[in-house]
Amino acid sequence: MPIHLLPQPAPIVPAPRQPGADSRVADAYGSASDEDPATVRFAGLRLVHAALRRDLARLPNALRLLQPGEDDKGEALLRHWNFLTAMLTCHHEQQDTRLWPIVRRFAPELRLLLNWLEADHHNLDHSFTRVTTLVRIASRDTGSAWPVAYAMEDLAARLETHLRIEERQLLPRMERVVADGSRLGGLGELLDLLRVADGPGTADALAWLLEGVQPAAVERLLAECDDDVARNWPHWQATYQRCTAQLWGPGDGLEDSAPGEAVAGDLGTGDLGTGDLGTNGLGTVAD
């Protein structure tokens, strides 16, 4: 079933600044400082976008390569798809309940666009649910794998349009609304929201989000999380890689992309790229 985040309290919005006031005064979304912010701005959103693109690029080919009798691999592919769908649903609810209300208040000219994005979130969720039914069939009947793989690719193309609109029309404006150093839309906030949801655990979500991200960038991102997350991360990463190695063949469907291009571009910062997008996918990591 789709995984929904529990209702969150309404965010406290910053008071309008007086004309001539110092634009770096601290507000409700983070403290202003002359130093570099401790958090990576909107890393939670950008990591989800990058992970969705990565997996939707390689899942169709993995499904096409599924052979009769590979029941374990079929189950792993279905589990991966279900997890991806759950993360997408949580991502949409984070935007609709936490982020868009703030943008609506401080950028009212974007209200019509936000209304369209919310409606498209619901449409995308329904489309992913329909494709989930097809993936469930194809994971057990390889004869239907190719048509279902094409359905995945069509859905990925539709999602790509949605992601580009958010990144090109909303994120630049959000950077003007949300203060530097704010956790809003960041990785730490996303993990906090997932903890109160009946859905993906922290270990699974973090391993999926940080797959392929350069070690130096991972260290910076983990600094936004609590000590337990940072301490357990090496174990979670190793378990993730071991459990999911069976998902992908020799190629991961991203051969035409330059190493690091997908995640580096989405995060929008030079020090948060990827080295090798790798050949591992999502499995189950024990918390």
Apex CA 59: angle with CA 56 and CA 62, to 5°?
160
Domain contains 286: no
Burial code (b: 16+ CB inside 10 Å, e: under 16) for 149-182 equals bebbeebbeebeebbeebbeebbeebeebbbbbb
Domain contains 21: no
Domain contains 11: no
Domain contains 184: yes
Domain contains 7: no
Domain contains 75: yes
**Count of domains in the chain?**
1
Cα 28 to Cα 32: distance, rounded to the nearest angstrom: 10
Structural domain span for residue 222? 43-272
Domain contains 103: yes
Q: What is the pLDDT along the chain (287 residues), one digit of tens a residue?
A: 444 333 334 444 445 555 554 443 334 344 444 444 457 889 999 999 999 999 999 999 999 999 999 999 999 999 999 999 999 999 999 899 989 998 999 889 999 999 999 999 999 999 999 999 999 999 999 999 999 999 999 999 999 999 999 999 999 999 988 888 888 899 988 988 888 877 689 999 999 999 989 999 999 999 888 899 999 999 999 998 888 888 875 445 444 443 334 444 445 444 444 333 333 333 444 44
Chain centroid to Cα 151, Å, comes to 21
| Residues 6 or more apart whose Cβ sits within 8 Å of residue 184 | 11, 29, 30, 98, 99, 102, 178
Phi-psi region of 180 (alpha: psi -120 to 50; beta: other; left: phi over 0): beta
| Residues 6 or more apart whose Cβ sits within 8 Å of residue 123 | none
Domain contains 284: no
pLDDT for 178 equals 87
- Contact between 70 and 218 (Cβ < 8 Å): no
